Amino acid sequence: MENSQTSKRCLSIDGNSLTIDQLTQVARCYLQVSLADSARRQVHECEIRLRELASLEKPIYGVNTGLGIFANRRIKSSQSIQLSRNLILSHAVGIGEPFPEDVVRAAILIRVNTFAKGHSGVRPELIELLLEMLNRRLTPHIPNQGSLGSSGDLAPLSHLALVLSQDPISNDEASSGKAWFKGQLMSGKEAMNAAGLSPLILHSKEGLAIINGAAFAAALLALACNDTLNLLRIAEIGASLSMEALLAVSNAFDPRLHEVRSHLGQIAVAERIRKLLRSSTLIDSTERVQDAYSIRCTPQVIGPAWDILSFVQSTALREINAATDNPLFFGLDAISGGNFHGEPIGLAADYLKIALAEVGAISERRIYRLIDEHMNEGLPPMLIMKHENVGLQSGLMMLQYSAASLVLENQALASPASVLSLPTSAGQEDHNANATMAARFLSKVIENIYHILAIELLTSAQAIDLRIQDKPEIKLGMGTNVAFQWIRSTFPFREDDFPLSEDVMNMVELLKKQELINLVNLSLN
């Protein structure tokens, strides 16, 4: 239920119904957020129960005990606030480059949604402050390395906590972390002041609640799901354009062929390729019986990526609506467990990046065929326009080099990270998921594939132009023609050698805006 004071364009957070698309809208499009009234009541009731439990003698992890290996050390109730502060100060040891803004915003929203379920014992004021940080576009500077993704993203989330909290005794700017506000990086204290926000003194268990959950791993995975939807559509379009340029044989996409294997993703990809190529005069224009694997097995490679994406989406959706800190409170029961363990996220990220690495690999193989005069069905070597310039010019040769380099990098990144583990906290935490590394590598694989697909689109468009110059009467398919015209509206045919790096990077930025997909979809409906 949305608060009556919020606008219709404000997402109401209730702990249970956050979608990946909504998460992406908040992370990347700055959709405003608020806490649902029902969730506020649940959170307040849990906070009251925590105070009741904290007044008793029974040990409660992280409330009146130490943390990790110190779980058996009792802490006086009067020291609970200092315990929260010390936890944040000692755990803020992230290193490396900062996470991108959208990842930080997504992680904050996931943490809010966890608290909104009403099992964490935090105050509504803490949730409201996190929401205001999102709404006012205050973004903490969070180093992207240092998390094992098991006891939660302890180090990254501690850097978040530094910005929103203050010491119970002194408000030291040096221990307030760093944050961006209105494009400027400043201390956390300065950013909070500039945004008109006041940091909180964290109460009992609140420090632990903030950092005890794999929010950054989940954020990376959820955003990757959104990006993969876009990537796989582009991969189908790029493959279809290459098929046009290479005069492909359509038999490999016959629906009967795919239905007898029964894989849903494969069936759907073959159907979309048929639609993209419908009415083409280049397809089936030779006497060839079949094509190389990189052409005819495209549905069998892109299709499984769709199937895996479906599984990963379900995992990500459950995770962003999960209670993941420790302990959790159910009535007057404080239950310690391991919901913070990132194994589901790590395995899903590894699974998806393996599938996507294959999508990039088969794309590079088509690029290779397009520029090799022995494989490209009569096109000039390296797609050089004038035969007399062969040797004098290199044409598109180096585009394939770059694509091959990215494929090799993806093959290294696709090695499963979730099978790697080292013990921490003197052996108390003896099996770690490495989920955040898996999710970070997934994001890098996705970025690499955007560039590989951009290269395939530019290469196939160059090849199609050469076909048209040779035979102006040819006709492209319904979808591929729209894609070709879209490419040529921004990227010209390259008659002479030209530094193509800028074309590739500009193509990537345009592909991320989804304009190509939207135009092609309209042409097929």
Q: Which residues are catalytic?
A: 61
Q: Under a CB-based contact definition with an 8 Å cutoff, are residues 196 and 129 in contact?
A: no
Q: Is 255 left (phi over 0), alpha (psi -120 to 50) or beta?
A: alpha
Alpha helices in 30-76 (DSSP H): 37-54
Q: Under a CB-based contact definition with an 8 Å cutoff, are residues 438 and 220 in contact?
A: no
Torsion (CA) 425, 430, 435, 437 in degrees, nearest 10: 60
Q: What 8-state DSSP symbol labels residue 431? A: -
For CA atoms 318, 319, 320, 324, give the dihedral sign.
Answer: positive
Q: What share of the chain is helix, strand, coil (3-state, %, to 5)?
A: 60, 5, 35
Helix (H) or strand (E) holding 330: strand 328-330
- Rounded Cα–Cα distance for residues 410 and 358 (Å): 9
Q: Under a CB-based contact definition with an 8 Å cutoff, are residues 320 and 110 in contact?
A: yes
Q: Under a CB-based contact definition with an 8 Å cutoff, are residues 43 and 127 in contact?
A: yes
Closest of 120, 183, 151 to residue 425, by C-alpha: 151
- Rounded Cα–Cα distance for residues 487 and 238 (Å): 11
Burial of 297 (0-12, 13-18, 19+ CB in 10 A): middle
Burial of 294 (0-12, 13-18, 19+ CB in 10 A): buried
Angle between helices 124-135 and 101-116 (to 10 degrees): 150
